[in-house]
Amino acid sequence: MIINTVCIVLVLLGIIFFVGGAVGIVRFPDFYTRMHAAGKGDTMSVFMVLVGLAVYQLSDFTLANLLIAGKILFITIFIMWASPTSTHALIKAGLEEGQKVWTRNDKKETEDEQ
């Protein structure tokens, strides 16, 4: 019962962070700031959802379930490893390709041009 509650809370929190990331992708002004939402809104949310699932597995404590929880932990480690790497690769490619960095002051000028 307690374990189920912990699991549900973790997964729900993860989903809230996911929503924040998705909204950020739509609302942020340029490529770089969108990468912030796309690449990293995930880290915490995926972590929370997966830890929630691992906790759920452990509610019925057997060796097989312990191993499954271990595998889920491996997935979280992989995501924490791969997500920053791919974010970095994309954003570096963007900079080298010449995407303009949006700043507060630029915005006024572009509005004036229009």
Instruction: Assess 40 for contact with another protein (CB under 8 A).
Output: yes
Among 47, 49, 53, 55, binds another protein (CB under 8 A): 47
First-residue to last-residue Cα distance in the chain: 59
- Residue located via tokens 């959802």: 49
Instruction: Assess 101 for contact with another protein (CB under 8 A).
Output: yes
Instruction: Assess 52 for contact with another protein (CB under 8 A).
Output: no
Instruction: Assess 27 for contact with another protein (CB under 8 A).
Output: yes
Question: Which residue, 88, 75, 84, is CA-closest to 48?
Answer: 75
Nearer to another protein, 59 or 71 (CB): 71
- Residue located via tokens 């880290």: 43
Site residues for another protein per CB under 8 A = 16-17, 20-21, 23-24, 27-30, 32-33, 35-37, 39-41, 43-45, 47, 64, 67-68, 70-71, 74, 80-81, 83-85, 87-88, 91-92, 95, 101-104
